[in-house]
Amino acid sequence: MSGIELFAAALGALAVWLTVRQNPLCWPIGLVMVLIYSWIFFDVKLYSDMLLQLVYAVLQVYGFWQWTRHGEGLPVRAVTALGNGAVWTGLAIGALISAALGAGMAHFTDAAQPWLDAALTGFSLVAQVWMAQKRLQCWPLWIVLDVIFVGLFLYKALYLTAALYALFTLLAIQGWREWRIAMVPAR
C-alpha cells in the first residue's frame, strides 16, 4: 500500500459517493482518480485495468458533458431504465470486448490475469457508459463487477484498492436504491 494508492482510493470513494448523489462533480474527481489508477495498475501488470482507466478518463469527460448539458433550456438528465433488448445488447458488447481484449493480453503481454482482467474491463466499460447516461441498470452491473474486483485486488495484494471496491459495492447498492426512487416513470 502506498500513499498514491491511498490518495486514489480516497478520490474514488468521493467520486462514487457523489455519483450516487447525482452530483456532476463526481466526473472531474473521477478523472483524477482514474489517471492515478492507470499508473498503479501498470505497476502491478494489470494491463487491461490500466487501459480501462485510460478509457475511463475519456468517459469521465463524456459523463460530465452528459450530466451538465442542461444549460440554455435543456433539462437535467434524468435517471431512466434500459429496455431488455438494450441491456442484452450492452452485455453482448461487453462480452465481445472481454474476449478480444483477453485474447490480446494472453498472447501478447505478461499480464497477471489476462482473461479475468479483460472480462472485468469489458463489462466495466458497459457499466460506465450506462452510468454516464444515467441508466438504472449500471448499478446492478457495478455490484457484480465490484465484488469480483475485490477478489482480484486481494489476489494482487492491493489491499486498500480491494477495500475501496468493497466500499464501491456498498455505494452501488445505495446508488441502485436512490436512482430507482429518482427514476423517471416510463411513458
User: What confidence tens digit (pLDDT) does each residue in 89-117 have?
Assistant: 999 999 999 999 999 989 998 887 889 98
Average pLDDT of the segment spanning 113-125: 92
The DSSP code for 135 is B
pLDDT score, position 123: 97
Average pLDDT over the chain, rounded to whole? 90
Model's pTM, two decimal places? 0.84
Residue 187 lies in a domain: no
- Looking at per-residue confidence, does 109 or 37 come out higher? 37
Residue 85 lies in a domain: yes
Q: What is the band of 73 on the pLDDT scale with cuts at 50, 70, 90?
A: low
Q: Are 164 and 150 in contact, with CB atoms under 8 Å apart?
A: no
Q: Domain range for residue 119? A: 3-182
pLDDT score, position 187: 52
Residue 166 lies in a domain: yes
Residue 185 above 80 pLDDT? Answer: no
- Amino acid at site 105: M
Counting the structural domains of the chain, the total is 1
Q: What is the band of 184 on the pLDDT scale with cuts at 50, 70, 90?
A: low
Residue 101 lies in a domain: yes
Residue 164 lies in a domain: yes
Q: For residue 118, give the C-alpha cell.
A: 479483460
Quote the Cα angle for 35-174-25, to 5°.
40
Distance CA(100)–CA(138), nearest Å, equals 22
Give percent above pLDDT 90 in the chain: 65
Q: Are 130 and 137 in contact, with CB atoms under 8 Å apart?
A: yes
Enumerate long-range contacts of 26-29, CB under 8 Å, 24 or more apart.
Answer: 26/63, 27/60, 27/61, 27/63, 27/64, 27/67, 28/60, 28/64
- Looking at per-residue confidence, does 33 or 77 come out higher? 33
* Lowest mean per-residue pLDDT among 65-69, 129-133, 166-170: 65-69
* Lowest mean per-residue pLDDT among 72-76, 111-115, 153-157: 72-76
Average pLDDT of the segment spanning 5-12: 91
What size, in residues, is the chain?
A: 187
Residue 74 lies in a domain: yes
Residue 1 above 60 pLDDT? Answer: no
The SS3 assignment for 112 reads: coil
pLDDT score, position 67: 86
Residue 145 above 60 pLDDT? Answer: yes
